[in-house]
Amino acid sequence: MKKKFLKVAVTGFALFSILMVMQACTVASSAVSSQLTFSPFSETGLIVGSVSFPETKPTSNMYFPLIKSLDSDEKVAKKNSGEFIISPEQIVRLKHKGQLEDGKTYLFAIPRKPGHYDLSHVRYANMGFAGNSRTSLSGGFSIPFEVKKGEIVYIGDLFIDEYASKTDTMIYLKDNFERDIQGLKVLKPAFDWPNAKKGPIKIIYK
């Protein structure tokens, strides 16, 4: 009877986690664009890179990096800004399921209109067994870059040391251009990868 209860409880929590992920996806965009092609003739630019973690076991259920438009027009900036979602495996146990480095690295490819942007915070979501949830935030940094029409810009590998102590730096930026582009070629073979360019690959701590 006890085993049956545990099985039902685990299944219920797994279903709850899936529902929460689906709900979050309606707010944040997918980490990898659903479009089939990208070329120099595209009306938007493409932001690419990766998000990496130190261990295969996550400390949160979901992660939401924010790509923020720096347009001087507030309405335009709001329209062109948005989070994308990094979602580990939720069923039975939490486990990172990225495309590279034994699941610890997630690739992203996100279309945006031309302009100046930065990646300025990461939001973390944690769901409790009883249905309650809480969020936390890592800010105090800026990763600036420019999006140009028909161009692919690589902004770096965002390393989140989720096991760092409160006195340690939690967010780093690394240059893994070759590795990440090779991985993205597998996901989106019809994109114009030979013309992908590095952005500044710079992080500013505030």
Each residue's pLDDT expressed in tens, for the chain with a length of 206 residues: 434 333 333 344 444 444 444 444 445 789 999 999 999 999 999 999 999 999 999 999 999 999 999 999 999 999 999 999 999 998 888 999 999 999 999 999 999 999 999 999 999 999 866 556 778 899 999 999 999 999 999 999 999 999 999 899 999 999 999 999 999 999 999 999 999 999 999 999 99
Place of tokens 């219920």: 12
DSSP three-state, residue 198: strand
CB 70 within 8 A of CB 174: no
Quote the CA–CA distance of 5 and 85 in Å, as a whole number.
32
| 101 dihedral zone (left: phi>0; alpha: psi -120 to 50; beta) | left
Counted domains in the chain: 1
C-alpha pair distances (Å), 92 with each of 17, 88, 120, 162:
10, 12, 32, 21
Range of the domain at 198: 2-205
